[in-house]
Amino acid sequence: QVQLVESGGGSVQAGGSLRLSCAASGLTLSSKCMGWFRQAPGKEREGVAAIDTGGVITYYADSVKGRFTISRDNAKNTVYLQMNSLKPEDTAMYYCAARTWGCSDGGGLSGPRNFGYWGQGTQVSVSS
């Protein structure tokens, strides 16, 4: 059974940092394009960041470029999202996602339909 489990969410003040983790079981992440999406109340789920299988090529939404960093540790079967300089508009449920093909289409950030495996999410709340 495939499971993606996110952790690391929480409540921080604007300007603060959080590091999200996504640990996988039943699925080897080393051959998967991995992504992070987020969904705020009343809004659609949007792509935040993605990383290719080798961890070399990364993709980011314009809204998080320069503040968020996605990385992966294939030996630990884990993907991370380091979030710095957080803003209130970053408040959302953050989801880890995986798919069985590569990231060449801009990391698949154009929509959640591009990914087949999802975690349950971890809440990030940023206060002003």
In the chain, what is the straight-line distance between the N-terminal and C-terminal CA atoms, in Å? 40
Q: What pLDDT, on the 0 to 100 scale, is given for residue 10?
A: 98
Most confident of 22-31, 84-93, 111-120: 84-93
Percent of the chain with pLDDT over 90: 82
CA gap 90, 93 in Å, rounded = 9
CA gap 75, 78 in Å, rounded = 8
What residues are paired with 81 via a beta bridge? 20, 70
- pLDDT level of residue 26 (50, 70, 90 thresholds): confident
Q: What pLDDT, on the 0 to 100 scale, is given for residue 55?
A: 87
- pLDDT level of residue 100 (50, 70, 90 thresholds): confident
Supply 48's token pair. 């935040």
Average of pLDDT values for 12-32? 92
Q: What pLDDT, on the 0 to 100 scale, is given for residue 49?
A: 98
Q: What pLDDT, on the 0 to 100 scale, is given for residue 21?
A: 98
Average of pLDDT values for 72-101? 95
Average of pLDDT values for 14-24? 97
